[in-house]
Amino acid sequence: MVASGGNQLPRGTPEAFGVASGAVTAFLEAAEATGQELHGFMLLKRGTVIAEGSWQPYEAGRKRLSNSVSKSFTSAAIGIAVAEGKLSIEDAVVSFFEDEVPEQPDPKLSGMRVKHLLTMSTGHDVDTVVPVLKSGETDWVRAFLALPLAYEPGTVFKYNTGATYMLSAILQRVTGERLVDYLQDRLFAPLGIDNSAWDSCPAGITAGGWGLSLTTEEMARFGQLYLQQGMWEGKQLIPAEWASASVSPQIGNGDDPDSDWSSGYGYQFWCNRYGTYRADGAFGQIILVMPAEEAVLAFTSSLSDLSQILNAVWAHLLPALQKGSEPLPNEAQALEALRAKLASLEIAPPAAAIGVRHGGEHAEYLFEDNALGLASLRLHGEDEGCTIVWTLHEKTYAFEAGGEAWAISQWPSAPEVYHAEAKPVPADAAAVGRWQDDGSYLISIRLLDTAYHDAVHVRFEEEGHASITFARKFSVTPLHVGTLQAHPVQAARR
């Protein structure tokens, strides 16, 4: 079955498409057993969703930062522009920016072509986004072109987010449209990707290599589009030749036959083992396409080791998907077990200490001045959570952390990753507060539109004072807060 547009892909049972429900359950259990954290997934077979789920407090249908999955969308835009005659992958990069080239460029720069940006073979020996930002230059194109090259372009693979940004800048030069706007009618609308939001640089150029927010289903549709060689609802959104070339090895990136990071790199897609490929965003935002199996797996997560999840796919899902598409006999018990598993998916809150209290229940603390605009912390009764009051642009927010279960409210975040000047903005977050064995109080926070985890750790000191530390995981943007001192407003104790 070929998937089409609309707001939802069709749904079906695994057995109806030749896949055993037990294999999907086994994959979920194996993935959870790794200790890596999935947030949501969707499995397609022949364009139909045969399994999907979200780990609470994360929700299906919520857009979140896809990180470097954005790169694969940028590749699609370049392919469309090539078909429209706007550029060629053999064009020299400097030909688009003659007014931006430094007086004494690296001699190898003239040999850099669009195809080298696409294949991460620009000749740099670092990811250029880092030195570009450190340069302090607000014109990122100029900063990129001024960087030295260690190799001849096209000879060495080096992952390079700055290269994808340059693709976006080139597209804007040749079309007169920002990347996010260029794709609106050509890709987003036909795929049913609504309200597309994509970060941009200080000059207003779409970031290209990061910053596109998508739902899990929108990610799955994009994977299905490539599985269908760029065809959607009878319309060739992406040229078939481009779609095929994009997901085929264009440059070598290693020689380990057991690694999914050394099977070759295409045009902003990673090639995997077993004839599969993926769009890959930091911390486990993944679109995995299995062409021979006519299958797509999209998932969001906060991962430190993607290989463990991919290995679970290869061990449990891939063999089941390889058995063909002929319907299997109904296995009511296995299907019910899968449905029960999907209904029970949850990120368990951190464990609470038993019988340990500092005596700070019902106490309220005022923060010293800080970058996040946090004003005060109020601890509620035993196992009743807490409230953190914070302000932004003269508006006050009350952030709630549950005592027994996740509570959802708004927390300050800086979602525009790679922006040195990114400022906190209100973001939906789930939180729970738990007393720890040492008498401290730990607030675990999940920013629901990202992979970010924040932690606020309250340690009580003499005379009712407290020191509060902050940490952020699974984020490219540092959390510059440090340790704050908090002073008691009242010390009413139970």
Summarised one tens digit per residue, pLDDT across range 134-180 is: 898 999 999 999 999 999 999 999 999 999 999 999 999 999 999 99
Domain total for the chain? 2
Counting every residue, how long is the chain? 494
Report helix angle 21-33 to 332-343, nearest 10. Answer: 30
Q: What is the CATH number of the domain that holds 460?
A: 2.40.128
CA distances from 460 to 68, 333, 440, 466 (A): 40, 52, 7, 4
Q: With contact defined as beta carbons under 8 Å apart, do 277 and 263 qualify?
A: no
Together in a domain, 382 and 473: yes
CA distances from 274 to 69, 257, 318 (A): 21, 11, 9
Q: With contact defined as beta carbons under 8 Å apart, do 313 and 27 qualify?
A: yes
Any domain includes 130? no
For residues 242 and 80, give the distance between their C-alpha atoms in angstroms, rounded to a whole number: 8
Any domain includes 276? yes
Together in a domain, 286 and 377: no
Any domain includes 101? no
- Of 19-28, 33-42, 122-131, 349-358, the least confident: 349-358
For the record, the structure tokens of 442 come out as 């730990």
Q: What is the distance between the terminal CA atoms of the chain, rounded to a whole angstrom?
A: 63
Together in a domain, 374 and 324: no
Together in a domain, 284 and 337: yes
Average pLDDT over residues 264-290: 98
Residue 1: predicted pLDDT: 36
Together in a domain, 227 and 336: yes
Summarised one tens digit per residue, pLDDT across range 66-106 is: 999 999 999 999 999 999 999 999 999 999 999 999 999 99
Residue 3: predicted pLDDT: 43
Q: What is the CATH number of the domain that holds 254?
A: 3.40.710.10
Any domain includes 335? yes
Any domain includes 232? yes
Any domain includes 85? no
Any domain includes 34? yes
Q: Which residues contact 403 (CB under 8 A, 6 or more apart)?
A: 380, 382, 383, 384, 385, 432, 433, 434
Give the HSE-up count for residue 99: Cα atoms under 13 Å, Cβ half-sphere.
2
**Is pLDDT at 16 greater than 60 in this prediction?**
yes
Which residue among 283, 311, 343 closes a domain? 343
Question: Is residue 414 classed as helix, strand or coil in its secondary structure?
Answer: coil
**Residue 198 phi, psi (nearest 5):** -145, 130
221: containing domain: 15-62+215-343
**Is pLDDT at 422 greater than 70 in this prediction?**
no
Exposed/middle/buried for residue 302 (C-beta within 10 Å: 0-12, 13-18, 19+): buried
Summarised one tens digit per residue, pLDDT across range 198-207 is: 999 999 999 9
Summarised one tens digit per residue, pLDDT across range 343-361 is: 999 999 888 776 555 555 5
Q: With contact defined as beta carbons under 8 Å apart, do 467 and 485 qualify?
A: yes
For residues 283 and 270, give the distance between their C-alpha atoms in angstroms, rounded to a whole number: 15
Together in a domain, 276 and 330: yes
Give the HSE-up count for residue 48: Cα atoms under 13 Å, Cβ half-sphere.
14
